[in-house]
Copies of this chain bind each other. A is one copy, B any other.
């Protein structure tokens, strides 16, 4: 299929199935993540107490684990939720925010990597750090380009059997053998908190859909880039961008 047709096909599946997406994500991006999933037609739910997270992960279509504001109790809940998805055979996705830069989350990310994530989504510094090839970025920001992390992403994909998504102005998506790119990012999107974190949630929802996982993760990147491009033409800065971006995600189907 051509990229545009593929995107449309995945989007149709997405809206039809409305994936119930269990988000265990950081405190800063919860609202935006939920609104991005809702705008696209998914059903997000944030459930965090260990007992509940374990129970809910078995009911949901996909799980997102984002370590941005990790705490010790949250790490414990995440581990139980991940084990529950593994037992249920549903996919989970790792967003290793600022891995490499901070010891506690780096240990945690390395431990849960063995629990077979369906996909990993990070910026270049995070993917390099997770692959053991660098010491992390500056806070939550990447100090490397996505292209520079491509070899690390491919190695990590082969080691973990996950689809690895390295995002930046151009996104690179790889399963270790095949690699796709999605262009169209803009620096303005780095002036809005949570665009990368929300993409990880969309990747998780897409991983629950039928079809090739690499295709589905690539489509997730495509949705965000496409809505971002529309929003850029309609906004005067990062504030109006957020509104326009959610509107564009909501209208995405009609534009194909």
Q: Does A155 contact B (CB under 8 A)?
A: no
Of the candidate stretches A42-50, A86-94, A112-120, A207-215, the one touching chain B is A42-50
Q: Does A9 contact B (CB under 8 A)?
A: no
Oligomer copy total: 3
Across-interface contacts of A244 in B (CB, < 8 A): 239-240
Q: Does A237 contact B (CB under 8 A)?
A: yes
Query: Chain A: residues with CB nearer than 8 A to chain B?
Result: 20, 26-32, 34-35, 38-39, 43-49, 51-52, 55-56, 59-60, 68-73, 98, 101-105, 138-141, 190-194, 235-240, 242-251
From B44, B68, B191, give the contact of A38 (CB < 8 A).
B191
Across-interface contacts of A59 in B (CB, < 8 A): 101, 139
Decide if A239 touches B39 in the complex (CB within 8 Å): yes
Report if A72-B55 is in contact (Cβ < 8 Å); known contacts: A31-B29, A31-B193, A141-B43: no
Decide if A55 touches B251 in the complex (CB within 8 Å): no
From B46, B237, B245, give the contact of A69 (CB < 8 A).
B46
Across-interface contacts of A239 in B (CB, < 8 A): 35, 39, 242-247, 250
Across-interface contacts of A251 in B (CB, < 8 A): 236-237
A239 to B, closest residue via Cβ: B246
Decide if B246 touches A238 in the complex (CB within 8 Å): yes
From B35, B60, B140, B238, give the contact of A35 (CB < 8 A).
B238
Determine how close the nearest CB of chain B comes to the CB of A67; give it in whole angstroms.
10
Decide if A46 touches B28 in the complex (CB within 8 Å): yes
